[in-house]
Structure formats: C-alpha cells, structure tokens
Amino acid sequence: MKATSHYSILPEFQIPDFELVPPNLRRVLESENIMKAGVSVTGDAKRVSKFLGVHSAGIFELSDLWNLVHDVRTLAGSITRRLIALSRLTEECLYLPLDKSASRISNWAVELSNKQVQYAANDAYAAFRVFDALERERRELTPIPRFPGCRIIPPQEPPSDNDYPIIEEEVEEYDYEPERTNLDGPEVEAANSWATMFLSALAESGIEAKAQHSQLKAYSLWHGGEHSVEEITKLCRNPPLKETTVVMHILEAIQLENLPYDDGKLAELRRRIPKPFVNGKYHWVFSAPNKDVGNRDVYL
C-alpha cells in the first residue's frame, strides 16, 4: 500500500466515495486474500477508511516481520513492536538507499510531478522487495518462527466538519544516525566534478544517463582515485557509508554505463557482494574478464 495525506483533488461539490475509488482497486484493498505491505500502514489504512470509505483488509506491517527476524536472530528474548523506517529496512535488507527527503516536502495537493510519481513508485516497490528479503530470512531460521499476522483495522467513522487528521504512528529510525554530514574533501570534489562532467557529456551526446550521480562518484573514487571500498565509506560521509552501499554503487555504475574496470580491483568488490546478489543481479562479476577499456568516449 502506498498512500499519502492527500488522495484526490476534488471540485467544490461533493463526490460519492464509490466514484473516487475504482471498483477493482477497492476489491484489492478490501480483500483479506491479497496482502498489502508497508511501514506504518495502520495510519494509511485508517485514512483510506475514514475519507474514502474503503475498509482495507490484509494489511501487513513490515516492521513486524523485521522485529521477528531480528529479535529471534539476536536472541533478544522477546519480539518488540517498534516501527522501523522503510528507508532503514531498504538499506538493511536490500543494501540500497531509499531517498525520501525531497518529495516529503512537496505539495501533494496539486497535479503530481514525475519526481513525485517516481517517489511513490519507489516506496511501493521497495516495500515489496523488503518483504521478500525478510520472508526469506524468516524461512532460513531454525526453527522457523510463526509468520506475523496482518494488522486488523476497524472501519473508521466518516469525517465530520471539525475532524482532525489522523496522527500517524511514530516510526523509529532503528540504530540510525539522525545527523549525517556529506564530506567535501579534495578527493570527493574531484569525483563529484568527474560525475557531473560524465553526465554532461552523455547529455550533449544525446545519450540518456542510466547511473545516478552518487553511483558515478563512488566509481570515480574507486577507479580513478584508486581508493579502496573501506576508504570510500569514510571519504563520502560522516558517519561512514556502509561498505555494501559503496560496492553496489560502483557495480551499478559499471553495469549501467559500461565503464572500464580492472579485474584485480574487481576482486575487492566480489568479496563484498551480498549473498542474495551473487547468483542474481551481479552474477557477471564472477565471470567478468579483465576490462580495462569501456566507455572511454565519455570517461573524462
């Protein structure tokens, strides 16, 4: 389930609830047989019930599955009910960043921009992939713990004229450093400049960039600056990036933009690739020949 505080842009006259929500979407949301997973989904489901008259069923809180897997694995002794931010779950389970900053302060009451649509799609897809990763971890535990049940959301009363917004449950950034500082030393500045020039060169050539600036920056520090993964984690940010994040950034840049690399240095990345990706997305790393030439036309 992906929801925000604003669901529709309405004219001044009243529109019946059944005309706001397509019948097929209503059937999906109200079905107990179709699971809808996310973080802090109780608040979303309550708003949908209250303001749109859709009484969702099959609502699954991803934090419940994380808490189960984490607490059993660490022998915590009891299963907590804290809510964990989706960005944290994505980083821990998929080893990928989930940027939720820019669109959080956007105006969702007007026609949505491409960035907002992308934000909503990323959020929903991340939740889907996080569920798969956590469920796989649960099944690997011995003995296998019982699957957490879905949240039961009672139907909400329709809003009154004096109604106030439903307050969301507080999401805990579990073991998360709230303050992060991007560092800008000379090596990072050089990598930033290269990434910007690379993207500009692609644009001038009429080629659509596939890799993100952050991925290209990590690649430049690794390939051009000849820094190790461990060094890059400390060069870019305080507190340091996770090593898996740096590895994934570098591999994404190489794969998406056909960039050159040295097989000797690639061995450093092979050792750090998370297990779920060894036979999947990055299987090519284990059979890749020495590739000291690549997209040299744009490697400045």
Q: What is the pLDDT of residues 236-249, one digit of tens each?
A: 887 788 888 888 88
Contact 94, 88 (CB under 8 A): no
Return the pLDDT at 135: 94
pLDDT of 281 above 70? yes
Return the pLDDT at 77: 64
What is the enclosing helix (H) or strand (E) of 140? helix 114-140
Statement: the pTM of the whole predicted model exceeds 0.75: no
> Could you tell me the residue ranges of all domains in the chain?
17-140, 181-286
CA distances from 144 to 93, 103, 147, 238 (A): 19, 38, 9, 38
pLDDT of 98 above 90? no
Helix axes 263-270, 243-257, angle to 10 degrees: 130
List, as one string, the DSSP characters of 102-124: GGGGS-TTSPPPHHHHHHHHHHH
Return the pLDDT at 179: 52
Q: Kindly tell me the burial class for residue 293, based on how many C-beta atoms sit within 10 Å of its own C-beta (0-12, 13-18, 19 or more).
A: exposed
Could you give the CA distance from residue 28 to residue 12 in angstroms, rounded to a whole number? 29
- The span from the first CA to the last CA of the chain, in angstroms, equals 43
Give residue-wise pLDDT tens across range 142-184: 889 999 989 888 888 877 655 544 444 445 444 444 455 566 7
Give residue-wise pLDDT tens across range 67-86: 998 888 777 666 778 888 89
- How large is the average pLDDT for residues 36-51? 89
Could you give the CA distance from residue 166 to residue 279 in angstroms, rounded to a whole number? 44
Return the pLDDT at 291: 53
- How large is the average pLDDT for residues 208-221? 90
Rounded to the nearest integer, the mean pLDDT of the chain is: 79
Is domain 17-140 classified as CATH 3.30.930.10?
no
Q: Residue 237's beta-bridge partner residues? A: 182
**pLDDT band for position 300 (50/70/90)?**
very low
